[in-house]
A = this chain, B = another copy of it.
């Protein structure tokens, strides 16, 4: 199943902001892996982040949300800007043109789409289980990939993922980010596992539990009977 996307928007002068694009780094968590959402474009291009252009009537944030919905089928997600990428050669000419030539529209050789542009990076965390990645007509697939095992990506998208991850790490404590990465209810071990994966380092179980509980942001629910021969952990959910 593919998303509808209005290809006329790619045509010059039909309501797009020239030279500007947005790219989205969407993090998910599954099987103890931190994942990122990537599109496999048609043709032989490397995988890329869901990205697109900005309409004249919308804000950058709105553009990021719309693009994410159109290209990956992900909607109603809180996105945060983390950096703007603008190296003159960031969209390597030949790759860039090859990519846009796979799009079934006529592009003038002088169209700004074929030239340099600046891309504003947005990132978000989302519950892996609640998202159904859906590729658009320009892509063969849309799927999750382990952040720590990425193949080479298109353009400067590797750098984008790295910088988004750095931002995520630095905001993990202060912004109590990372909440959207887990399902509704979870155990303390699930949460610690998430933290360890994002930070890529081991944490001391007892102190992690103390720290999180002292934040007073969790509501303790019933125990989770795992069937294992040991004490059952409590389930938690985030307070509102």
Contacts and interface: CB of A to CB of B under 8 A. Distances in A.
B84 A59 contact: no
Interface stretch (A13-21, A138-146, A228-236): A13-21
A115 B172 CA distance: 38
Interface residues of A, number: 22
Contact of A20 (B19, B58, B87): B19
How many copies the complex holds: the figure is 2
A78 interface: no
Interface string A4-32: 00000000000001111000000000000
Instruction: Find the residue from A19, A54, A58, A86 having the highest chain B CB count within 10 A.
Output: A86
State the 9 A-B residue pairs at the shortest beta-carbon distance, nearest first. Answer: A60-B86, A18-B18, A84-B84, A18-B19, A19-B19, A17-B19, A84-B120, A20-B118, A59-B87
A57 interface: yes
Per DSSP, are chain A's interface residues mostly helix, strand or loop, or mixed? mixed
A148 interface: no
B88 A118 contact: no
A86 B118 CA distance: 12
Nearest to A55: B88
Interface in A51-73: 54, 56-60
Nearest to A84: B84
A112 interface: yes
14 contacts: A17-B116, A18-B18, A18-B19, A19-B19, A19-B20, A20-B118, A56-B88, A56-B115, A59-B86, A59-B87, A60-B86, A60-B87, A81-B84, A86-B120
Interface string A141-160: 00000000000000000000
Interface string A112-132: 100111101000000000000
Interface of A: 17-20, 54, 56-60, 81, 83-84, 86-88, 112, 115-118, 120
Contacts of A118: 17, 20, 54, 60, 118, 120
A154 B229 CA distance: 68
Contacts of A57: 88
A80 to B, nearest CB: 11
Contacts of A17: 19, 116-118
Contacts of A19: 17-20
